[in-house]
Amino acid sequence: MKRLFALLILAFLLTACGGEGETTESAASEVTTEPVTEAATEKPKTEKLKTEKPKTEKPQTEAPETEGSATREQKAALKKAENYLDLMAFSDEGLREQLAFEDFPQDAIDYAMENIMVDWNEQARKKAEDYLQLDMGMSDQSLYDQLIFEGFSEEQVQYAMDNLPE
């Protein structure tokens, strides 16, 4: 159910942000065609919020592979990943899933994920703020659980929770 909810939000945000028509249609079709399974309706296990500040992950700073060695499809996957991150926050897992949904082959997805410049802690924080801006009245535990469900690591989620505005 939360996955369906997350996909509905994705479709809404892409539509509201004036994203590419292809992207909006893809997100909408995923929402309407994905069967709801028993696993999808199970609530993720909750964990107590940690009070200690985690070590923050540094953004990837290594230079990407030279573009000359990349295929056209690998470059396209990288560009699509950058475009998605310009529109909204994603976890590593969520972005990989979205690129797979766009029918990129695994080697192109791997190339994009290895060469994209992104701070996953900040992505978790931005995603948390997106939920709070929707004014859905989420408790801290519900927000924590939702971010875990979306594929952020516990450390990334804790960073987000520790860095939300009051």
How is domain 119-165 classified at the architecture level of CATH? Orthogonal Bundle (1.10)
Cβ pair 95, 84 in contact under 8 A:
yes
What is 70-118's CATH number, 3.40.50, 3.30.420, 1.10.10, 1.25.40?
Answer: 1.10.10
Banded pLDDT at 66 (limits 50, 70, 90): low
Confidence (pLDDT) at 6: 46
**Which tops the pLDDT comparison, 23 or 152?**
152
- Residue 136 is predicted with a pLDDT of 73
Percent helix, strand and coil across the chain, each rounded to 5? 65, 0, 35
Cα–Cα distance, 39 to 56 (Å, whole number): 32
On whether the CB atoms of residues 109 and 96 are closer than 8 A, the answer is yes
Averaged confidence pLDDT in the chain:
74
Better-predicted residue by pLDDT, 74 or 6? 74
Measured CA to CA, the distance from residue 64 to residue 62 in angstroms comes to 6
Q: How confident is the model at residue 11 (pLDDT cuts 50, 70, 90)?
A: very low
* Per-residue pLDDT tens digits for 77-108: 999 999 999 999 999 999 999 999 999 999 99
pTM (2 d.p.): 0.62
Compute the distance between CA of residue 100 and CA of residue 112 in angstroms, rounded to an integer: 11
Residue 3 pLDDT class (50, 70, 90 cuts): very low
Mean pLDDT over residues 134-138, rounded?
Answer: 81
CATH 1.10.10.10 boundaries in the chain: 119-165
The amino acid at residue 18 is G
